[in-house]
Amino acid sequence: METILELKQVVKSFGSLTAVNHIDLKIKRGEKVVIVGPSGSGKSTLLRTMNFLETIDSGEILFEKEPCGYVTRGDKLVLDSQKKLCALRSEIGMVFQQFNLFPHMTVLQNVMEGQVTVLKKSKAEAKDTAYKMLDKVGLPDRSDVYPVTLSGGQKQRVAIARALAMQPKMMLFDEPTSALDPELVGEVFDTIRSLANEGMTMVIVTHNMGFAREVADTVIFMEQGDFIAKGTPDEFFSSKVLHPRISEFLDKLL
Ligand code: ADP
Ligand code: MG
């Protein structure tokens, strides 16, 4: 399988703090990458650089082998034209911990919005796709309500439908179940799992080790902006003994 997204020596700092420290990563089409690690280790920042929500200080990001997003001005990297970025962002969907639905729009409008404004689809076409995506996430009968009336699990599934409606080539999930009551976690993981089974390329930040073990092709442990370990779930979980910090981290989760 070919590489869909590649990060080369990506660095992102906030003042004197290096949140992402010379990261190299290749993600293959269809691959499921799970990133784990303590709070503040740079997981969200790394995910946001992949979607160009965070401007990197140095390094390179290639999507489908093409360097993208950045041009060099003097000794600085600056984000490229709006147009190129928009096209790129619509190809990489993102789902956040806090759902980030538009509260003043119905569920249907939430799922239609990006299709109309970014993809320039007709309303009819956007609506058609929105219904299909709501069906896919198991919410065919919630299209006309406002987000405030939904449970957290339903909100997150709407957020997933909204991302999918942009027909992305890959999906990023940043702790998609961390804001949910425990009984609502399952329905969101079920939705993500079925996407995974359909072959979607995805990067998922989660503390749910069961899910990591089940769905991941690759598990990465991140600490202080660095990858401390990277491997298949089997390699990762058996390497516990070799990596005291990972073992300590996993023990704390139990
Ligand atoms: P994680 O998702 O693993 O918890 P983050 O990527 O959110 O970690 O944060 C990594 C580090 O970068 C933390 O020390 C955090 O405080 C810092 N950080 C993240 N975003 C910002 C920001 N916008 N401004 C300043 N510091 C930030
Ligand atoms: Mg985070």
CA distance 110 to 245: 41
pLDDT of residue 241: 61
Model confidence pLDDT, tens digit, residues 197-214: 999 999 999 999 999 999
Looking at the CA of residue 15, tell me the nearest atom of ligand 1.
25
**Comparing 240 with 70, which gets the higher pLDDT?**
70
Segment 145-172 mean pLDDT: 97
Segment 231-241 mean pLDDT: 83
pLDDT of residue 85: 75
Report how far ligand 2's centroid is from the alpha carbon of 11 (Å): 17
Sign of the dihedral through C-alpha 241, 242, 247, 250: negative
Residue nearest to atom 13 of ligand 1 (CA): 40
Q: Say what the ipTM of the complex is.
A: 0.98
Residue nearest to atom 1 of ligand 1 (CA): 40
Segment 140-163 mean pLDDT: 97
pLDDT of residue 254: 67
Model confidence pLDDT, tens digit, residues 84-137: 776 777 799 999 999 999 999 999 999 999 999 999 999 999 999 999 999 999
Which residues is 231 bridged to in the sheet? 219
**Ligand 1 lining (C-beta closer than 6 Å):** 14, 17, 19, 37, 39-45
Report how far ligand 1's centroid is from the alpha carbon of 148 (Å): 28
Ligand 1: which of 10, 11, 14, 53 to mutate, judged by most atoms within 8 Å of the beta carbon? 14
Model confidence pLDDT, tens digit, residues 162-200: 999 999 999 999 999 999 999 999 999 999 999 999 999
CA distance 49 to 99: 19
pLDDT of residue 6: 95
pLDDT of residue 120: 94
Domains with residue ranges and CATH for the chain: 3-253 (3.40.50.300)
Residue nearest to atom 21 of ligand 1 (CA): 14
Report how far ligand 2's centroid is from the alpha carbon of 228 (Å): 17
Ligand nearest to the CA of 225: 1
The whole model's pTM is what?
A: 0.94
Report how far ligand 1's centroid is from the alpha carbon of 230 (Å): 21
Q: CB–CB of 112/123 below 8 Å?
A: yes
pLDDT of residue 240: 62
